[in-house]
Structure formats: structure tokens, C-alpha cells
Chains A and B, each alone.
Chain A
């Protein structure tokens, strides 16, 4: 029987990871992620999990240890935030380009400078071209569930890529709420042990892993990687459906839509701010304003077709970003959505909203104001709306 407990986001991440029976865990503490490592260490100390814990001296080594273990065939887990992610960038990039599946929890934190320890998504947004699959989740249940789904996606033969489960620092990592913890036996059925086939360091099957590779061959590897990313779009949706059959919870795959069917305008959200977005939609609907919401659950690979499909009947949209695109004077997700539309020769009036940086809140009032601005835009369409800061 599944159990109901009150868990913080970080506890949810640790419990989710533990249910997946990782062989090797290596992590280094960093705010706001630290209690993920602490919880796993406590479970190990009490004999509740039997994973090997490697108490590394940095995030660079954390990713390197799990990379070595993955090369030997292990299922691995780690977690980090911001500066830790930046430090591990070198082996991080290599994890995906060696096509090694794993799951890493990322308690999102703003990148320094200015000096900060609080939430934001700039850390994960900055590595969206490092070849990892990136999930962004809305609540603690989703953290736990998507870690389990994440391994299933990562280890799928058509995919073979590492997965980031990104959740907002403090607003989820330190938020405590009701979480349903699935049965270990059921998780074992859903997620069988990892079988490493394509690269393995084993004297019984000697192979050279990653020799110097000429450009024409490297191009082939990159192309395969991109194709695996595209294949992951369908795999993510399928794994979500299968998860639903096992555990009774579904998330909609790469995107979730909320009251969108007859909506005239859409708010597009990513991460924990989605809850405030949904509340704002309900407020607007109560006043007869036809607002809907799209929650982007997977940023990499980008669900281009599903986003286009979701936007096909709206007259305007606004994207609420918790990160920036330095080159565009907009949020980062905003540019992704524009690209998805633009590639099909299509444009819609839209606004980029930026908020929630460095621990700042994106409030219900922000969401209501954003909805009003997008509704107004639908009435007076223009294509040069300036970026609006939610401050």
C-alpha cells in the first residue's frame, strides 16, 4: 500500500531516488539541495537503502564518480544546485554525450552574481544545451514521481540519456506538503534494474570507451544524440501513461494544459509557479475571462509540436519565466515558445514576463496582472510588446 506522508521537496527527491534502488550515489552539499544528500545519507546509515554513498569533495567529483559507476554499469543518482552545477559542467556535458542514463535532482537556484543562495531557474536554463533531458515540476509529489519516471525514460533503449528533475529552490525544496509514497514492490515492477549494453568498462568485454574521434564520426554521434532527444518526446508521454496505470497519477507527458480548450489567451508557466497560474486562471474564469494555461514540463527536448497544438486556438499568450535570456531581453522559455511557432510560419501576439529571480516570489497578483495584460493584448494585437518584469 502506498503511504501518505508530509515531505519537503528535498525529502521527496531523496525518497524518489531511494525507491529506484540506485547502486551508487555521490553528492556534495549545497544550498538549497543539501538535505537531499543528508536524507540519503541518513537512509544509508539506518540501512533503509543499500546504495554505495561516495562522500566526494566537490560537485565536479560527484558527477565524475557517478559517471565512472555508470560506465561500469551502475544505476546512479546525484543532486545539486547553481554553483555546484556550474562546477560540474565538464563531466555533466560528458554524461549526456557518452549517452549514459542517470537521474540528477536539481534544486534550482539563481546564479551568482550578485551573491545569492535563493531560488531561480538560471542554473538549469544555462545548461539546456548540454544534452540532458530536463523536466520541470510543480509540486513535491511530482518531484518524487518524476524521479521514478526519469529513470524509466533515461534507460529506455531509444533514449539512453541522463535526466534532470528540476524543482524550484526553497519554494519546493523547503516546502513541506502531503506526498503519496508508492510501494517499493510496485516501483520495482515499473522500473527493472538497469542493463548497460552500449558502453561498459568490463574486463570480460574489453572495449575502448571514447577514443579520439574525427569530425565525420562525431557528427554521426551528435546526430544520433539529437534523434534520441526527439525519440524521448514520445517515450516521455508513453512512460507517463504507463506510470498512470501503475500508480494512478499522470502528468500529461511533456506539457500539461489547464482550462485551455475554449481559452482566448494562454499563460505559459514552468515549475512551481504553475500553481499560482492555475489559481489565476480560475479567478479569471470566475469573472468570465477565457484564460487557460500551458505548463511546460519538459524543456529538453522541447515539445515543439505539442506547444503549437496547444496554442492553435488562442489569440495571444504570455510566458512567465523564472530566468532570463541575456541575448534577447526576454525570458528563456519565451524564446523557445516563439521558435516553436516561428518554425511553422506562425506568429501570435505575446508578452515575455520575468519574475521570481534570486528567491523573489511570483505571486497570485503577478499572475492576475499578467493575465489582464495578455487579455488586453488579444484585444489590441501587436507583435512588439516589451518584456514585463514581475517585481
Chain B
């Protein structure tokens, strides 16, 4: 079982992106669950959620404490929230940022880093700073755990062709770095 924690801000579409991942896994005949950590609905406040992926039914209906992967929708969260708490060794990090790897202080557990300026891509493709569909493409690229074509199809059906294009652009624009 693979465990993912997603960190974002209200209004960035974190829950909808996680639902696409779950749907993509289910469509492939696999299993996935996602639980949002739920607060009062407000734009801009930190939000997070817990994703699990597996080949067999997932019985655990709990929060994720030791993620294999972190998806961070906004690099300002790195200073604000304990994003890296509990991560497993050899963890994967996907970060929406315009910074270079050298400018980031990452914990030793992180082995694989995907960097993408999803905000810029979203602004170009959609005219709005909603980076979720761009990050979905980047997630496919960084993890390889779900299929880009299924994700793109689901994004197109749910959010329209511009978002599907953002998804593809996110996949292409992601810088993948093996730091260990």
C-alpha cells in the first residue's frame, strides 16, 4: 500500500484532484481511498488530505501518518505547516514552486523530488491560479502510480479541455530529480 499526504490551501482544488486520483485507480481496477481533513470552508487556509493506493481493498479508514509521498500545492506551506512530519525514508516529494532545488531545505528522507511551477501553468492555461489539474499531471510523472491518459480523460470530463491541457503541461514541465 502506498500512502500520500496532500497539503494545499482552500480553493486550490486539492480534494477534487485527490478524487480524480482515486477514480483513475478505480477505473484501472485498483483500489484507492482519500479522506480530506475537513475544516470550515474558507479560501486560503491550509488544508490537507490522506490518499492511499493499493492492489487490494484498503481497510484502514484512518489518517496517514507515515506517507510514502507528499504533494504540496503551494511552497509557502513549507514554512507554515509541518509538511514533512512522519515521512517514510525514500519518500517522494511533489512541490508546486518556482524555486530551484538548491533553494529548498529538504529532510534527508526525501529521495525523489518533482518540481513544477503549476501556478504559472494554471495561469497560462486557465487564467486562474487553480493548480490542481496541473499537479495531477505532475503526480503521474513523479510517481508513475496512475496513468496519465486516464487522469487526462477524467479531468477533461469533469473540468473541460483547458484543464486536460494543463494536466498534460504539468506532466511535461515537471523536473524530476533523484536527490539520493
Contacts and interface: CB of A to CB of B under 8 A. Distances in A.
Contacts of B19: 6, 176
Interface stretch (A78-86, A182-190, A203-211, A274-282): A274-282
B34 A176 contact: yes
B61 A275 contact: yes
Nearest to B34: A176
A139 B60 contact: no
A177 B38 contact: no
B35 A364 contact: no
Central interface residue in A170, A171, A176, A362, by most chain B CB within 10 Å: A176
Interface in A154-181: 168, 170-172, 174-178
A279 B60 contact: yes
Interface of B: 18-19, 22-23, 26, 31-36, 38, 40, 57-63, 65
A118 B61 contact: no
Interface in A263-310: 272-276, 278-279
Central interface residue in A171, A174, A274, by most chain B CB within 10 Å: A174
Given A175-B33, A362-B62, 7 more contacts: A139-B59, A176-B33, A177-B32, A177-B58, A272-B61, A276-B59, A276-B62
Contacts of B40: 117
Given A139-B61, A363-B62, A364-B62, A6 B35 contact: no
Contacts of A129: none
A372 interface: no
B61 A168 contact: yes
Q: Interface SS of chain A: helix, strand, loop or mixed?
A: mixed
Nearest to B29: A4
Contacts of A4: 26
Contacts of B59: 139, 274-276, 278-279
B32 A6 contact: yes
Contacts of A6: 19, 22-23, 26, 32
Interface of A: 4-6, 32, 117-118, 138-139, 168, 170-172, 174-178, 272-276, 278-279, 361-365
A224 to B, nearest CB: 38
A297 B23 CA distance: 28
Contacts of A177: 22, 26, 31-34, 58
B36 A174 contact: yes
Contacts of B58: 177, 275
21 contacts: A5-B23, A6-B19, A6-B23, A32-B38, A117-B38, A139-B61, A168-B61, A171-B35, A172-B61, A174-B35, A174-B36, A174-B38, A175-B33, A175-B34, A176-B34, A177-B58, A272-B61, A273-B61, A275-B62, A276-B60, A363-B63
Given A176-B34, A177-B33, A361 B63 contact: yes
A82 to B, nearest CB: 14
B61 A175 contact: yes
Nearest to B24: A6
A177 B40 CA distance: 23
A7 to B, nearest CB: 9
A175 B32 CA distance: 10
A386 B55 CA distance: 40
B77 to A, nearest CB: 21
Nearest to B59: A275
A171 B62 contact: yes
Contact of A178 (B26, B36, B63): B26
B22 A171 contact: no
B80 to A, nearest CB: 22
Contacts of B61: 138-139, 168, 171-172, 175, 272-273, 275-276
A364 B61 CA distance: 10
A275 B33 CA distance: 13
Nearest to B51: A176
**Which 3 A-B pairs give the minimum distances between C-beta atoms?**
A275-B59, A272-B61, A177-B33
Central interface residue in B18, B23, B32, B60, by most chain A CB within 10 Å: B60
A210 B19 CA distance: 49
Contacts of A362: 62
Contacts of B31: 177-178
B146 to A, nearest CB: 12
Nearest to B49: A174
B49 to A, nearest CB: 9
B71 to A, nearest CB: 16
Contacts of A278: 59
Contacts of B23: 5-6
A378 B32 CA distance: 37
A279 B57 CA distance: 12
A363 B60 CA distance: 9
Nearest to B40: A117
A175 B33 CA distance: 7
Contact of B60 (A172, A178, A364): A364
Nearest to A139: B61
Contacts of B62: 171, 275-276, 361-364
Contacts of A170: 35-36, 38
Contacts of A118: 38
